[in-house]
A and B are shown apart, each in its own frame.
Chain A
Amino acid sequence: MSALEPVIGLEVHAQLSTATKIFSGSSAAFGAPPNTQTDPVCLGLPGALPVVNVKAVEFAMRLGLALGCEIRESNVFARKHYFYPDVPKNYQISQFDQPICRGGEVPIVVDGKPSTVALERIHLEEDAGKSLHDQTQGQTTLVDLNRAGVPLVEIVSQPVLRSVEEAGAYLTALRRLVRYLDICDGNMEEGSLRCDANVSVREVGVSTLGTKVEIKNMNSIRGVMAALVHEIERQKKAVADGERIRQETRLWDPDRNTTRVMRSKEEASDYRYFPDPDLPPVLIDEAWLERVRMALPELPAARAGRLVREFGVSADDAAQLSQSRAHADYFEQVVASVGKVERAGKLVSNWMVGEVARVLNERDGEIDSLGVSASGLAELIQLVVDGTVSSSLAKEVFEKMTQGGGSAAEIVERDGLRQISDVGEIDAQVRQILDSHPQQVQTYLDGKESVAAFFVGQLMKLTRGQANPKLANDIVRKALEERRG
């Protein structure tokens, strides 16, 4: 048997960050006490009727336009029926055979190679409430309907992803895009971005699809990737063992790093879709489409391209710098504040992908959690450029800045981190060091010139790193050469 390859399609649900729900006026904000953000419509009270939130439609249009989808002129909402306590009407208002967006593609970069992921469709629907199982004594379930009726777009990719890495890149790109478009906060932990994966395996070279398994319950991009790794291995092993893959839905268990069966195909529901008679089709004309198109912000790929062109940063760095609008804005602000410095873009970029990224990673936060303003970082970089502080000590200064230690200049002064660039001062110290290490001096004079580094090290120790490294090197060399007699 030839090698097996995975075939992956992803279904991503993104909560749209509208102020109110998709079919009623109550707040769609996250985190309020349970069942405080409800109204007759999202509670499914008798006689209540849904009315479409035009903003939600517009958010979906933004996404569709950004991804090059075909946007439907007449949008029909359909009812999807299933009994569940967190779906108060026992049907969900969704879109069925006439989704708002068809086609389109998501640009991704894997191992530096750009490609695209083709989309099947994007449709609008209302979110369900939240079931909180086993929160009290006995087998009871509590239901919070704050989330019921929050607008969602479901983004369905074609089954064209061929590796876990591609899946990860696709999700990263989508998350970045929805944030750029300001239509979703992209927070997977809070569930504002959710992903289900359809996975099958087949022999390489075969064009038909294998039996697919759906996996649910991943709440981070890393989780999706881990679940995919596990599921692909499970299926490969099953095929190798001569087993048949069953069509089923499996739940990812991040604690045990495994999946378990949730339901099999035989238990699949008949959703009895039909057009919701309470909602006339939403008509999208060319004028509306054009207004939304004109208001689109610069998209991630375009922004990354511009950063390469305008600031001379590398493509990889540009991708990282443009991870979010705020991040890229911050970068550009720092460059602007640094002012006329040679290769300022590259210099700032190195700080961003280096120290800034390290701190954000430690904090698992976004640029707004850095605690250092763009002008603050620019000030520090200027201090490095004008020689006030050494590059290595600047990292220490930056660390203190992120902890609220004050401005770069303040920290440098207060903690005495100013770089010593006084030739006389360094010279005096170097001579003192040479005098107290005659043996090492002799070793140098005997031809082992690498010993010079030892003296530089000693000097740095003595000056607590403050000596200008370039000057230190030159002066040590000069003083040693002088001793050749």
Chain B
Amino acid sequence: MSGTHLSRRSVEQLLQGMDRGEFSGAELTEACVARVREADAALQAFVEVFDEPVAASSGGRLSGIPYATKANIAVVGRELTCCSRILKGYVSPFDATVTARLREAGATLLGVTNMDEFAMGSSTENSHGGPSRNPWHADAVPGGSSGGSAAAVAAGMVPFALGSDTGGSVRQPAAFCGVVGLKPTYGRVSRFGLVAFASSLDQVGPLTRNVRDAALVYSALAGHDPRDATTMDRPVGDVLAEIEGGPAGLRVGIPRALVSEGVDADVRADFEATCEQLRKAGAQLVDVDLPAAKAAVATYYVLCTAEASSNLARYDGIRYGHRAQAQDGAQEQSLVDMTCATRTEGFGAEVKRRIVLGTFVLSAEYAEAYYNKASQVRTLLRREFDAAFETCDVIATPTSPTPAFLRGEKAADPLAMYLGDVYTVSANLTGLPALSVPTACNEAGLPLAIHLTAPAMQEGILLRAGRAVEHVRGFDEDRWTLMEKSS
């Protein structure tokens, strides 16, 4: 079997192959690295490919499986830049908990993927190192902010990658690149070592090519971490046990008001098709009402910018990362001048925009009208979701109102970019687990996807529903043919 084909296999298939002695972990790593060398010059999914992959002791549940990690997840002794100039050269002295867990599980880390600076963006165009490309379309964005991870998995460079999801940053690029993206329940996966963007919304999640792989990687990541006080000290359970439960009897909630407007026609048609096929396969479609979800994007951009303005305050040029040099060849500069110049030079436009917004919404005169109000809407939204889940098991929408857009198309219009987050931000605001599953390609050959949300800690039923979608749509079996046809 050729190296290229080995790198196209799922995590589960690869584990079985190694079990049967068909190939070794080293051969698999070699095949994946070869695929990266072949494809990444065009895609720019990686910002760093390690000379020596970071391997771990064998024997874990992901033993020998290569993966890539997002540039905002700490790996001991490696540069941790968040694709920002301000962290250029900064080497983390510790592993993120997720890095350590994958190390223990035996996975092999090949390198670091591209992202929007500090995870702020939906296109990976905001990376200091330049944009990544969508493997399905050379001029389309891969989505973001975990665009590099999504592209790497979609292009067959690695069987899985880690992303972080603050407002859809795992799920939206997964949708744009035709892969599966899971955002676990807030508190299921440790944030220790994930560079904070908006701490109450951030969650690490896997990008994989199918739902069973998402379950496998999630199982390795999830669990209480004494170093992250926001993780839950509750048993994770075996999410693979119920994953083949199928669509029969599944109650799928559909917020009609939310999916009827502001959605591209092909996206909407594909969403209806998925729902219809689920129904035919035995699922029950239920109308649910989530009135506050209309305010979710506005609420999200108040809260995430507020937290970001706080989290990013530490990048001041004093202790690590980029430091602006004194002007005009001066030997010394004042502290205030240095910090201002460092932040001016070090942060990109989108990050600055969010710091300014966040500083504004937390300021004494405006906190009541913005930050406090948004916090109230957030509570309301969670209540609405809880109420909706009394009549359904999962809630379905498209993942994004559009398929992958073209590079540069929305770069000058931040509001248009923000509105694309309409279906994903609610899961972060409510802390609920959510999953994007690819369904089909549109006429332009770009992948489309469905978005599923489940009650808190119900990753089991969420993944079962995602697996049911895979069953009825069959995208993953056809992916390589579809991709060849597309490009």
Residues of A in contact with B (beta carbons under 8 Å apart): 40, 43-52, 79, 81, 83, 85, 88-91, 138-141, 143, 270, 272-274, 277-280
Contact = CB atoms under 8 A, between A and B. Distances in A.
Contacts of A45: 92-94, 320
Contacts of B230: 277-280
Nearest to B320: A45
Going nearest first, the 4 A-B pairs with the smallest beta carbon separation are A277-B200, A90-B313, A277-B199, A272-B362
B467 interface: no
A294 to B, nearest CB: 27
Contacts of A140: 332
26 contacts: A40-B93, A44-B319, A46-B87, A47-B92, A47-B94, A47-B194, A47-B195, A48-B193, A49-B228, A50-B229, A51-B227, A51-B228, A81-B313, A83-B313, A83-B316, A85-B316, A270-B363, A270-B364, A272-B309, A272-B310, A272-B363, A274-B367, A277-B199, A277-B230, A278-B229, A279-B229
Contacts of B324: none
Contacts of B14: none
Contact of A47 (B74, B307, B319, B367): B74
B161 interface: no
B133 interface: no
Given A83-B339, A274-B310, 19 more contacts: A45-B94, A45-B320, A46-B195, A46-B196, A47-B74, A47-B195, A51-B229, A79-B310, A81-B313, A81-B362, A88-B319, A90-B313, A139-B332, A272-B310, A272-B362, A273-B362, A277-B200, A278-B229, A280-B229
Contacts of A277: 198-200, 230, 307
Nearest to A90: B313
B7 interface: no
Tell which of B93, B316, B371 has the most Cβ of chain A within 10 Å: B316
Contacts of A138: 332
Nearest to A82: B313
Nearest to A282: B229
B191 interface: yes
B248 interface: no
A407 B434 CA distance: 79
A43 B320 CA distance: 10
B82 interface: yes
Nearest to A23: B229
Contacts, number: 96
Nearest to B365: A270
Interface residues of B, number: 43
Tell which of B192, B194, B226, B228 has the most Cβ of chain A within 10 Å: B192
B117 to A, nearest CB: 13
A336 to B, nearest CB: 47
B318 to A, nearest CB: 5
Contacts of A141: 335
Contacts of B359: 272
B371 A274 contact: yes
A27 to B, nearest CB: 18
B80 interface: yes
Contacts of B200: 277
B80 A47 contact: yes
A85 B319 CA distance: 9
Given A44-B314, A85-B335, A279-B229, A274 B87 contact: no
A115 to B, nearest CB: 37
Nearest to B187: A280
B153 interface: no
B339 A51 contact: no
B243 interface: no
B313 A91 contact: yes
A47 B96 CA distance: 7
B314 A88 contact: yes
Contact of B229 (A52, A81, A88, A91): A52
B302 to A, nearest CB: 11
Contacts of A46: 74, 80, 82, 87, 90, 92, 195-196, 314
Contacts of B364: 270, 272
B226 A274 contact: no
Contact of A49 (B90, B229, B307, B310): B229
Contacts of B288: none
A270 B359 CA distance: 10
A77 to B, nearest CB: 10
B155 to A, nearest CB: 28
Contacts of B192: 47-49
B229 A47 contact: no
Contacts of B217: none
Contact of A278 (B87, B199, B320): B199
A79 B228 CA distance: 17
A43 B319 CA distance: 8
B179 interface: no
Contacts of B371: 274
B381 interface: no
Contacts of A52: 229
Contact of A85 (B94, B226, B318): B318
A89 B230 CA distance: 19
A82 to B, nearest CB: 9
Contacts of B93: 40, 45
Tell which of A83, A88, A277 has the most Cβ of chain B within 10 Å: A277
